[in-house]
Amino acid sequence: MSKRFFLQATAALAAMVVMGSAQAQNTPIKFQLDWRFEGPAALFLTPVAKGYFKDAKLDVTVDAGNGSGGAVTRVASGSYDIGFADLAALMEFHANNPDVPNKPVAVMMVYNNTPASVMALKKTGIKTPADLTGKKLGAPVFDAGRRAFPIFAKANGIGNVAWTAMDPPLRETMLVRGDVDAITGFTFTSLLNIEARGVKAEDVTVLQYPDFGVKLYGNAIIASPKLLKENPAAVKAFLQAFTKGAKDVIADPAAAINDVKARDGIINTELETRRLKLAIDTVINSADARAEGFGQIRGPRLSLMASQVSDAFNTKSRVNPDAIWNGSFLPTAKELDILPKPKK
């Protein structure tokens, strides 16, 4: 072995040791999305792609999900450290599992308003919430809008409705076929899925819950109490890096979709860009979000939601709002100031 080769091999080995030691310093974080790799997933995939989590000494892996309920239970089980889930689903888990030791806690609000809405084809004659009385509604049994429908119905004086359950891929198809009169779902999911089935947006009535007296919070970042206790610095670092990435996504949704495409090459780029923009406009950069501040909540509103969810979901025990939320890991107000001013 020549001296030159020996020196090169030694240098390469030393570089590998340094790289390995740098990687070892990064805290591994398993993150569970609420749904598939669609437009809104860019909020978490962009900070991964841009290295923001790595810069924060975190090794974050993002996995697709199959609903908020699943995200909550997976974080509770310890198989995931942090997740993204509808706050109502988290409240329900807390109230129905009072003795479970590792109940996840919301640490940052992302969807300040629930994305839930009722959607109907205009040809049905449904124009207002009151028109839903006596109609046939459809949604998966775990759908957030269906679960919260009693709150929407109470706020708008809606009488009895008949529910039809189906798997998520069939929801919009059954609406378009006329099997049901209306559906519940996330606006930015179902509206675009209806369009994909040949119906123009102007031919759809969209009754968004926040527009009709329902001020439920939507999706929040949730974390395992074990992680909060054992590595609070990692949680703070995660939220800072996420906020930095979210600012980029809000500023340029079209570019952020490339990060989603990198994870799921078969997505429709144009469709998912529209979905992401719709999510930003309706639940992330909403009037309520700008009033309360990105990532944050207001105590009275959280308490009202806890009471409403307890009643609507008929939980085993009453939801304790103080056990649901911990805002002490949030970035500074200056760092959270990422929402653009509304266009005039």
pLDDT digits 0-9 by tens, 189-229: 999 999 999 999 999 999 999 999 999 999 999 999 999 99
Q: Domain segments of the chain: what residues?
A: 24-113+217-336, 116-212
Domain 24-113+217-336, CATH number (from 3.90.1150.110, 3.40.190.10, 1.10.10.10, 3.40.30.10): 3.40.190.10
Cα distance between residue 330 and residue 296, in whole Å: 8
Q: How confident is the model at residue 1 (pLDDT cuts 50, 70, 90)?
A: low
The CATH number assigned to the domain with range 116-212 reads 3.40.190.10
In the block, tokens 């990692």 appear at 234
For the chain, the average pLDDT equals: 93
Tokens representing 158 are 């809606």
- Mean local confidence (pLDDT), 42-66: 98
- What pLDDT was estimated at residue 251? 97
Q: How confident is the model at residue 14 (pLDDT cuts 50, 70, 90)?
A: low
Residue 249 pLDDT more than 90? yes
| Alpha helices (H) along the chain | 3-25, 42-49, 52-55, 68-77, 87-96, 144-147, 149-156, 171-177, 187-196, 225-230, 232-251, 253-263, 269-279, 287-292, 299-312, 321-324, 333-336
- What pLDDT was estimated at residue 22? 47
- Segment (H or E) for 294: none
- What pLDDT was estimated at residue 5? 59
Share of the chain above pLDDT 70, in %: 92
Tokens representing 33 are 């999305």
Cα distance between residue 91 and residue 25, in whole Å: 35
Residue 238 pLDDT more than 70? yes
- What pLDDT was estimated at residue 6? 58
The domains spanning 24-113+217-336 and 116-212 adopt the same CATH topology: yes
CA distances from 137 to 100, 102, 179, 290 (A): 34, 36, 9, 33
Top pLDDT among 234 and 25 is at 234
Smallest Cα–Cα separation from 115: which of 251, 220, 260?
Answer: 220
Q: How confident is the model at residue 13 (pLDDT cuts 50, 70, 90)?
A: low
- pTM of the complete model beyond 0.75: yes
Cα distance between residue 93 and residue 89, in whole Å: 6
- Segment (H or E) for 184: strand 182-186
Residues constituting the chain: 344
Cα distance between residue 278 and residue 86, in whole Å: 18
Share of the chain above pLDDT 90, in %: 91
